[in-house]
């Protein structure tokens, strides 16, 4: 492989990440099963975002890879969020 | 040069001979030519449909065909011109042929994926074309497939939609390939800021292809699912919202117009320095403007929906951004003009094509400002004014650049020059015909003639006649141009490596290029447009 | 241009002039500059090019000036458009319904027409309703257009400022007869308009007019746009002609099964309420939409009465 | 020089290019689902009550189990890469195999989930669907379409992993040359990534 990418995550790291992810999942289910109305969705999405970030950074190695990948990913996700935002804005604004 | 015996890519014999050799090739140059010839075929098909439509419109009432046929014609005309000609267009043909050479590489990053793209392109094209003959008759929705009409019509929409989906896939893979190529395979010494503008425009295009195409892909799949499985997405009877379809469609299709125009602008940015014998004016500004077009162009889609019942705030935003996206184009036009200043201009055919491009592109762009403005678009939306706008800018922009590129790189591709005199005459006729067809459409649109009209009121007749006559002039010009080029492959033309003294890397090698492009990968030490 | 036919004409046309004016200025300016450079710096006259790479000042100049210009254009475009959004409160409210491929207009007092008749100098609000697919109501002389989207009601308003008759087109592609989906707007003096309306809503007078056998049915057929697809003179349009249809023996197909039937009251009622069940030979399914929500049994009966007069 | 094909594929091997290509492809996939997320957001905004009620038809335990399965499978591919980097071919193969099996379990779960819906007459175009309110109809349309598309991606991911498995076995994928494994892994994480959002959006929303 190329030199910059010699980082090897240990099994332990992976298991650690996995347990965090599972904890977060259970946490979402727990939170959403209590009625918190509007906060529910926000909380669920927030946790999902945290989980996604962890997957991207550790499982998908963005943290250890060259920075371009990270930059690209962030920009692409930002783009998607803006597009969703603009579209939904049209409906909110009607 | 010692290694003069190295075979060029045309003579080269691989594992397979003849046609099979071409169909299994992974050589970017051959793939470029595969694209070119298949594309010219589809373009000719689409063009013939255009001519037929103009004949039908020469007078009110029925001339040649029934309304159903006419509706199918403009649908297929739009589909083939957009998806089979201008979207792959300059990028697939000249991007493939020239990009690796111009950045000093032996091929693209994924040669086999490149061939796969071409096959997907052909498969998509075949599906779209067979949709004409299978099922319940040719689709009649217009190239925009607006729901719910596209859900209600009995015609064969599903096949057309799936064809477009496959074509989208092809486009994505091309973009992916080019971006990776530019990241990984630039010649030693060629930093990003030494990369020729043409490559930069392909880079910007690649990102749009990657990030916009999937959205139309999924939208078209939803249309197919809705028709086949009755899954309700856009049919109000099933709870859907037709306007959401328009949002999704244009989220792709506006950026798609920049997929069409950016590589075209790249071609012009190559031609102008070569023939003015001086570096392009404002190299950095041109790069920034390309990226800005790609970026801002992603957020203006709603200007196709000003009358759809979108919210007031959205109309405001989309109109505003449409005006902003015009700025980078303005910057480009000014920089091209400035490049001529104190040059030593050689009046050869590609140069004339570039000048023709600038002229019609300006008209197309300015009419874009008229439709981008709210008050005026309310009047001219869905009229012939819009038809004039996009023919000026799509055919005038991308089409002109495509022909400009052919005239510029033909000697590179075949190692021979064409007859310049005939080429210029052809251009003259073509240019005249072009303006006679499309300019009257601006007037018709201002008078209020809606588009996609099989029949019209008598007061619109005069300008329609003019326009139809223009179409005959233009065909004449195009036939001259194309036969002149095709003949130059063998019959005429002396053999040359570099007829224009071009500054960029593709002119430093033999014409036609050898299989590996470079005998030795060059080391780049300066910016792209340095003249001794 | 500047006909003054509606309250929107002048503002809209001003924006046209502004944008086209700036455009023509730049088009001519840039073209002239290019031609001048081509002549002046032709390689015969100017054999050695000067190797200029660019100029930051110029880049800024030709970004900022167009920026200002487009902001001006945007502003006037917006300003010319924003009145389109809010209609005056006391406007005359008419319901405009589009279907493939005809128009109908319903006035507050229930009167229905197939041409839009409006009083002079009075604000008119149209509720835009579509039964089937997207249409778009376009009155070029008034510089106004808005889509009619099924499932929601868009709105449009204007003031007719000059008496006369103007074209009204469908501007959004809606299938086969899109280009024939055409009607007119008549702007009448208030007095004339009132007379017309009085006549149309005068029940007694209407009753007399409708006493003629079939007259009521005829009116229904006009205002519901049946004539877009059915002729009364025997010619074939999108649907079969109404001439002589009543009592005729025809071939229809139901779920792919063809059979012969005689056209009677029950069949016609079914054809109007569930047009896609029995398809007349030689015609296509899916063209005619159900009129279940537009026509009640009594009205269908009137239509049948009218059809039976067409021999 | 033998064939055109060789002349051009024998360019130096470039694993970074392969990885970049995979990332670009992942971006495309994100926007493919992105289109559906747009649709979801809009319809959810338009039909909040219906969406709320409709989600109660879905079984949270089922969704939760599937989520955990996918998370674990993500960890196993990641660990197979670790194993490969350490030169432990056997281990790496075990992990890939484990991932494929987990994927299969996911699909089987999904099969039962969908199956029970179908049994109740809930499927696209069914009569029962047609009776629902418009908001419910949209919810289930989206549910079937998005989870269906996701399942297709699972299948593609499985295919990739199976190919990788055999390539490892044949020593085509080795500790000094494991771009294929890495890329299949990336793709698999993407599948997981999307599910991370699908789960709360369909099963948990209130
Ligand atoms: C190559 C393709 C291409 C390109 C590049 C463009 C470029 C632009 N387009 Fe166009 N457009 C289409 C292809 C394209 N378009 C197509 C196919 C349709 C119709 C689709 C359909 O409905 O079927 C369409 C429709 C369309 C509409 C919808 C019209 C309607 O349906 O009502 C609008 C509205 O805003 C619009 C705007 C613009 C603008 C503002 C630009 C700008 O980017 C233009 C910028 C260029 C210039 C401004 C000229 C150069 C500048 C100067 C010379 C300097 C001086 C400038 C200033 C002072 C500002 N386009
Ligand atoms: C690249 C895009 C492109 C191009 C080049 C053209 C080219 C032409 N178009 Fe266009 N057109 C569209 C894209 C394009 N069109 C789109 C997207 C629509 C909207 C569709 C919709 O509404 O859904 C449209 C719609 C459209 C309409 C409006 C239909 C309507 O709204 O009712 C009309 C009407 O006149 C028209 C006419 C023409 C004509 C006469 C040509 C001609 O200029 C063609 C001229 C070209 C030739 C005559 C070439 C002939 C040359 C040969 C045959 C050479 C032989 C070749 C070889 C040997 C290889 N087109
Ligand atoms: Cu109705 Cu077009
Ligand atoms: Cu656009």
Q: Which residue of A has its CA nearest to B316?
A: A90
Rama region for C84: left / alpha / beta (φ>0; ψ in -120 to 50; rest): alpha
Using a CB–CB cutoff of 8 Å, tell me whether B320 touches chain A.
no
The SS3 call for residue C224 is coil
Q: Tokens 């700036």 appear where?
A: C22
Backbone angles phi, psi at D174, to 5 degrees: -135, 175
Number of independent structural domains in chain C? 3
Q: Which residues line ligand 2 (CB under 6 A)?
A: B 40, 44, 47, 50-51, 53-54, 57, 74-75, 77-78, 81-82, 85-86, 142-143, 387, 391, 394-395, 399, 437, 451-453, 471, 474-475, 478-479, 482
Within 8 A of B310 by CB-CB distance, chain A residues are 90
What domain range is D181 assigned to?
A: 2-204
Radius of gyration of chain B from Cα atoms? 23
Helix (H) or strand (E) holding C59: helix C56-81
In a domain, C206, yes or no: no
Residues C216, C299 within the same domain: yes
pLDDT in tens, B329-378: 999 999 999 999 988 899 999 999 999 999 999 999 999 999 999 999 99
The SS3 call for residue B495 is strand
Mean pLDDT value across chain B: 90
C-alpha B55 chain-centroid distance: 25
Neighbouring residues of D148: CB distance < 8 A, sequence distance ≥ 6: none
d(CA B72, CA B66): 10
Low-confidence winner among B206-220, C23-37, C233-247 (lowest mean pLDDT): C233-247
pLDDT in tens, B495-510: 777 888 888 888 888 8
**Atom 49 of ligand 1, nearest CA residue:** B365
d(CA D62, CA B40): 54
Mean pLDDT value across chain C: 87
d(CA A79, CA C82): 30
User: What is the predicted pLDDT for the residue at B262?
Assistant: 95
For residue C207, give how far its alpha carbon lies from the nearest alpha carbon of chain B (Å).
37
The SS3 call for residue A39 is helix
pLDDT in tens, C132-162: 899 999 999 999 999 999 988 999 999 999 9
Token code pair at residue C293: 């929500």
* B303 Cβ inside 6 Å of ligand 1: yes
Contact state of A40 with D205 under an 8 Å Cβ cutoff: yes
Q: Which DSSP category does C93 fall into?
A: E
Cα distances (angstroms) measured from residue B450 to each of B179, B250, C258, D70: 41, 20, 40, 53
Residues C142, C216 within the same domain: no
Token code pair at residue A27: 């946490």
In a domain, C135, yes or no: yes
Residues C225, C148 within the same domain: no
Distance B206 CA to ligand 2 centre (A): 26
Strands C92-99 and C102-106 turn out to be antiparallel
Q: Count CB atoms within 10 A of the CB of residue B227.
A: 18
Contact state of D38 with B111 under an 8 Å Cβ cutoff: no
In a domain, C136, yes or no: yes
Token code pair at residue B406: 């052919």
Low-confidence ranges of chain D (pLDDT < 50): 1-11
User: What is the predicted pLDDT for the residue at D5?
Assistant: 34
Using a CB–CB cutoff of 8 Å, tell me whether A40 touches chain D.
yes
Tell me: pLDDT of B288 over 60: yes
Q: Which carries the bigger pLDDT value, residue C244 or residue B380? A: B380
Residues C141, C190 within the same domain: yes
Q: Report the CATH number at residue C143.
A: 2.60.40.420
What domain range is C296 assigned to?
A: 212-307
Tell me: pLDDT of B18 over 70: yes
B487-492 mean pLDDT: 74
For residue C297, give how far its alpha carbon lies from the nearest alpha carbon of chain B (Å).
24
d(CA C257, CA C281): 11
Q: Which ligand is nearest to the CA of C182?
A: 3
Cα distances (angstroms) measured from residue D102 to each of D2, D159, D182: 44, 13, 18
Contact state of B378 with C170 under an 8 Å Cβ cutoff: no
Rama region for C225: left / alpha / beta (φ>0; ψ in -120 to 50; rest): left
Angle between helices B400-414 and B349-372 (to 10 degrees): 150
User: Which residues between 218 and 277 in chain C have a beta carbon less than 8 angstroms from any beta carbon of chain B?
Assistant: none
d(CA B239, CA A25): 32
d(CA A77, CA A82): 9
Token code pair at residue D53: 């009620």
Percent of chain B scoring above 70 in pLDDT = 97
Length in residues, chain C: 311
Along the 94 residues of chain A, how does pLDDT read in single tens digits? 344 456 777 888 889 889 999 999 888 888 877 766 667 778 888 889 999 999 999 888 888 888 889 999 999 999 999 999 999 999 988 8
Q: Name the pLDDT band for B491 (thresholds 50, 70, 90).
A: low
Strands C164-170 and C135-139 turn out to be antiparallel
Name subunits touching B (3+ CB pairs < 8 A). Answer: A, C, D
Degrees (nearest 5) of the Cα angle A49, A52, A57?
125
Residues C290, C221 within the same domain: yes
* Reduced 3-state DSSP string for B341-365: CCCCECCCHHHHHHHHHHHHHHHHH
Most ligand 2 atoms within 8 A of CB, residue of B35, B69, B73, B81 to mutate = B81
Contact state of C177 with B67 under an 8 Å Cβ cutoff: yes
Q: How would DSSP label each residue in B437-478?
A: HHHHHHHHHHHT-BSS-SS--GGGHHHHHHHHHHHHHHHHHH
Q: Which carries the bigger pLDDT value, residue C291 or residue B178? A: B178
User: What is the predicted pLDDT for the residue at B4?
Assistant: 54
User: What is the predicted pLDDT for the residue at D206?
Assistant: 64
Tell me: pLDDT of C3 over 80: no
In a domain, C19, yes or no: yes
CB B344 within 8 A of CB C47: yes
**pTM for this entry:** 0.92
User: Which residues between 20 and 39 in chain D have a beta carbon less than 8 angstroms from any beta carbon of chain B?
Assistant: 20-21, 24-25, 27-29, 31-36, 38-39
Q: Which residues line ligand 3 (CB under 6 A)?
A: C 98, 101, 135, 170, 172-174, 178, 181
**Atom 23 of ligand 2, nearest CA residue:** B142
Number of independent structural domains in chain D? 1
Nearest to B318 by CA among C103, C292, A87, D132: A87
Cα dihedral: B240, B244, B248, B251 (round 10)? 180
Within 8 A of B254 by CB-CB distance, chain A residues are none
d(CA C109, CA C197): 10
* B260 Cβ inside 6 Å of ligand 1: yes
Using a CB–CB cutoff of 8 Å, tell me whether D200 touches chain A.
yes
Neighbouring residues of B257: CB distance < 8 A, sequence distance ≥ 6: B297, B390, B393, B394
Contact state of D17 with B184 under an 8 Å Cβ cutoff: yes
The SS3 call for residue C17 is helix
Burial classification of residue C311, based on how many CB atoms lie within 10 Å of its CB (0-12 exposed, 13-18 middle, 19 or more buried): exposed
Q: Tokens 């376009």 appear where?
A: C138
Q: Report the CATH number at residue C262.
A: 1.10.760.10
Burial classification of residue C259, based on how many CB atoms lie within 10 Å of its CB (0-12 exposed, 13-18 middle, 19 or more buried): exposed
Of C36, C57, C85, the last residue of a domain is: C85
CB C279 within 8 A of CB C285: yes
pLDDT in tens, B56-81: 999 888 888 888 889 999 999 999 99
d(CA B242, CA C260): 40
CB B34 within 8 A of CB B118: yes
Contact state of B211 with A76 under an 8 Å Cβ cutoff: yes
Token code pair at residue C33: 């500059």
d(CA B71, CA C176): 7
CB B478 within 8 A of CB B502: no
ipTM of this complex prediction, to 2 decimal places: 0.90
Nearest to B30 by CA among B107, B120, B110: B107
pLDDT in tens, B423-451: 999 999 999 999 999 999 999 999 999 99
d(CA B464, CA B473): 15
User: What is the predicted pLDDT for the residue at B253?
Assistant: 92
C-alpha B461 chain-centroid distance: 31
Cα distances (angstroms) measured from residue B422 to each of B17, B79, B170, B479: 34, 32, 36, 11
User: What is the predicted pLDDT for the residue at B492?
Assistant: 59
CB B277 within 8 A of CB B104: no
Degrees (nearest 5) of the Cα angle D144, D149, D151?
95
Backbone angles phi, psi at B415, to 5 degrees: 75, 15
Question: In terms of C-beta distances under 8 Å and separation of at least 24 residues, what long-range contacts does C269-275 make, across chains too?
Answer: C269/C297, C269/C300, C269/C304, C272/C300, C272/C303, C273/C300
Using a CB–CB cutoff of 8 Å, tell me whether B4 touches chain A.
no
Q: Name the pLDDT band for C205 (thresholds 50, 70, 90).
A: low
CB C171 within 8 A of CB B382: yes
d(CA D197, CA B105): 41
Contact state of B302 with A82 under an 8 Å Cβ cutoff: no
Using a CB–CB cutoff of 8 Å, tell me whether D104 touches chain B.
no
d(CA B187, CA A43): 49
Helix H segments across chain D? Answer: 4-9, 15-46, 48-55, 60-85, 89-119, 127-131, 134-169, 179-199
Q: Please, which residues bridge with residue C167 across strands?
A: C184
Neighbouring residues of C56: CB distance < 8 A, sequence distance ≥ 6: none
In a domain, C245, yes or no: yes
- Delineate the domains of chain B, giving CATH numbers in brackets: 18-508 (1.20.210.10)
User: What is the predicted pLDDT for the residue at A35?
Assistant: 67
d(CA B506, CA B9): 14
């Amino acid at each position: 492989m190329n030199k910059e990418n010699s980082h090897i995550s240990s099994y332990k790291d992976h298991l650690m990440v996995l347990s965090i992810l599972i904890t977060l999942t259970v946490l979402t289910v727990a939170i959403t099963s209590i009625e918190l109305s509007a906060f529910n969705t926000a909380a669920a999405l927030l946790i999902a975002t945290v989980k996604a970030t962890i997957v991207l950074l550790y499982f998908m190695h963005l943290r250890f890879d060259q920075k371009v990948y990270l930059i690209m990913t962030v920009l692409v996700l930002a783009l998607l969020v803006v597009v969703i935002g603009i579209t939904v804005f049209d409906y909110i604004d009607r | 040069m010692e290694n003069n015996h190295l075979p060029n890519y045309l003579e080269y014999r691989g594992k397979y001979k003849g046609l099979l050799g071409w169909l299994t090739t992974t050589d970017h140059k051959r793939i470029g030519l595969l694209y070119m010839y298949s594309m010219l075929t589809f373009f000719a098909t689409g063009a013939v449909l255009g001519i037929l439509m103009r004949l039908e419109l020469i007078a009110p009432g029925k001339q040649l065909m029934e309304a159903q046929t006419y509706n199918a014609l403009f649908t297929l005309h739009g589909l083939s011109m957009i998806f089979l000609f201008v979207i792959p267009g300059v990028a697939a043909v000249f991007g493939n042929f020239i990009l690796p050479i111009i950045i000093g590489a032996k091929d693209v990053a994924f040669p086999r994926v490149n061939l796969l793209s071409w096959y997907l392109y052909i498969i998509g094209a075949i599906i779209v074309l067979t949709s004409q003959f299978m099922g319940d008759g040719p689709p009649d929705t217009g190239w925009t497939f607006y729901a719910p009409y596209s859900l209600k019509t009995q015609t064969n929409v599903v096949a057309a939609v799936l064809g477009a989906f496959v074509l989208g896939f092809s486009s994505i893979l091309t973009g992916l390939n080019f971006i990776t190529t530019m990241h990984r395979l630039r010649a030693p010494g060629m930093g990003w800021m030494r990369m020729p503008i043409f490559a930069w425009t392909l880079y910007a295009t690649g990102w749009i292809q990657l990030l916009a195409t999937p959205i139309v892909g999924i939208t078209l799949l939803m249309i197919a699912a809705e028709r086949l499985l009755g899954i309700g997405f856009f049919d109000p009877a099933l709870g859907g919202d037709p306007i959401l379809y328009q949002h999704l469609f244009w989220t792709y299709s506006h950026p798609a117009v920049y997929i069409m125009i950016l590589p075209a602008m790249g071609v012009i940015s190559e031609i102008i320095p070569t023939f003015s014998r001086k570096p392009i004016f404002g190299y950095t500004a041109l790069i920034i403007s390309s990226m800005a077009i790609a970026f801002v162009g992603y957020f203006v889609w709603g200007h196709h929906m000003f009358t759809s019942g979108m919210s007031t705030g959205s109309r405001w935003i989309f109109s505003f951004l449409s005006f902003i996206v015009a700025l980078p184009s303005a910057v480009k036009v000014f920089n091209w003009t400035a490049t001529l200043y104190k040059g030593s201009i050689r009046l050869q055919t590609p140069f004339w094509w570039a000048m023709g491009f600038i002229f019609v592109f300006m008209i197309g762009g300015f009419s874009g400002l008229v439709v981008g403005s709210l008050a005026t678009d309310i009047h001219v939306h869905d009229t012939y004014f819009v038809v004039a706008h996009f023919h000026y800018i799509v055919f005038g922009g991308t089409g002109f650049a495509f022909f400009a590129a052919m005239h510029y790189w033909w000697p590179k591709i075949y190692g021979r020059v064409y007859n310049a005199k005939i080429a210029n005459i052809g251009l003259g006729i073509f240019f005249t015909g072009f303006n006679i067809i499309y300019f009257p459409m601006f007037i018709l649109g201002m008078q209020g003639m809606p588009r996609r009209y099989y029949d019209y009121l008598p007061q619109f007749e005069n300008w329609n006649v003019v326009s139809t006559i223009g179409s005959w002039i233009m065909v004449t010009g195009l036939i001259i141009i194309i036969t002149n080029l095709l003949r130059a492959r063998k019959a005429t033309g002396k053999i040359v490596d570099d007829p224009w003294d071009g500054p960029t890397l593709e002119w430093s090698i033999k014409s036609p290029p050898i299989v590996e492009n470079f005998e030795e990968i060059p080391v780049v030490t300066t910016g792209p447009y340095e003249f001794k | 241009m500047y006909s003054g036919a509606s309250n929107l004409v002048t503002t809209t046309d001003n924006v046209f002039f502004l944008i086209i004016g700036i455009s023509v200025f730049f088009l001519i300016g840039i073209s002239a500059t290019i031609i001048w450079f081509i002549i002046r710096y032709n390689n015969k006259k100017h054999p050695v090019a000067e190797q200029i790479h660019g100029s930051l000042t110029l880049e800024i100049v030709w970004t900022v000036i167009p920026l200002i210009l487009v902001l001006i254009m945007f502003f006037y475009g917006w300003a010319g458009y924003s009145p389109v959004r809010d209609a005056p409160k006391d406007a005359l409210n008419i319901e405009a319904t589009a279907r493939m491929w005809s128009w109908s207009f319903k006035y507050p007092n229930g009167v229905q027409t197939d041409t839009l008749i409006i009083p002079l100098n009075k604000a008119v609000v149209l509720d835009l309703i579509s039964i089937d697919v997207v249409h778009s109501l376009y009155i070029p002389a008034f510089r106004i257009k808005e889509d009619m989207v099924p499932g929601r009601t868009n709105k449009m308003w204007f003031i007719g400022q000059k008496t006369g008759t103007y074209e009204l087109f469908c501007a959004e592609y809606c299938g086969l007869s899109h280009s024939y989906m055409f009607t007119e707007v008549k702007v009448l003096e208030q007095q004339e308009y009132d007379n017309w309306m009085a006549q149309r809503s005068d029940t007694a007078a209407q009753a007399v007019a409708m006493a003629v056998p079939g007259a009521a049915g005829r009116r229904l057929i006009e205002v519901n746009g049946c004539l877009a697809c059915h002729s009364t003179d025997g010619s074939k349009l999108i649907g079969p002609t109404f001439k002589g249809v009543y009592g005729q023996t025809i071939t229809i197909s139901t779920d792919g099964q063809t059979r012969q039937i005689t056209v009677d009251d029950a069949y016609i009622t079914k054809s109007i309420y569930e047009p896609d069940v029995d398809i007349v030979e030689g015609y296509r399914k899916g063209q005619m939409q159900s009129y279940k929500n537009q026509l009640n049994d009594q009205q269908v009966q009137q239509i049948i009465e009218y059809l039976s007069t067409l021999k | 020089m033998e064939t055109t094909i060789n002349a051009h594929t024998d360019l130096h091997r470039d694993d970074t290019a392969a990885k970049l290509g995979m990332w670009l492809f992942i971006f495309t996939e994100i926007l493919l689902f992105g289109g559906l997320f747009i649709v979801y957001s809009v319809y959810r905004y338009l039909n909040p009550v219906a969406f709320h009620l409709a989600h109660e038809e879905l079984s949270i335990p089922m969704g939760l189990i599937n989520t955990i399965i996918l998370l674990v499978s993500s960890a196993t591919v990641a660990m197979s890469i670790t194993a490969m980097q350490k030169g432990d071919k056997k281990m790496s193969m075990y992990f890939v195999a484990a991932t494929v099996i987990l994927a299969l379990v996911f699909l089987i779960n999904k099969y039962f989930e969908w199956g029970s819906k179908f049994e109740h007459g809930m499927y696209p175009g069914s009569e029962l669907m047609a009776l629902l309110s418009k908001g419910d109809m949209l919810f289930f349309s989206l549910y079937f379409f998005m989870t269906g598309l996701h399942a297709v991606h699972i299948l593609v991911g499985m295919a990739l992993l199976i190919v990788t498995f055999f390539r490892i076995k044949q020593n085509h994928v080795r500790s000094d040359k494991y771009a294929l494994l890495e890329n299949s892994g990336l793709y698999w994480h993407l599948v997981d990534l999307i599910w991370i959002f699908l789960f709360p959006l369909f099963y948990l929303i209130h």
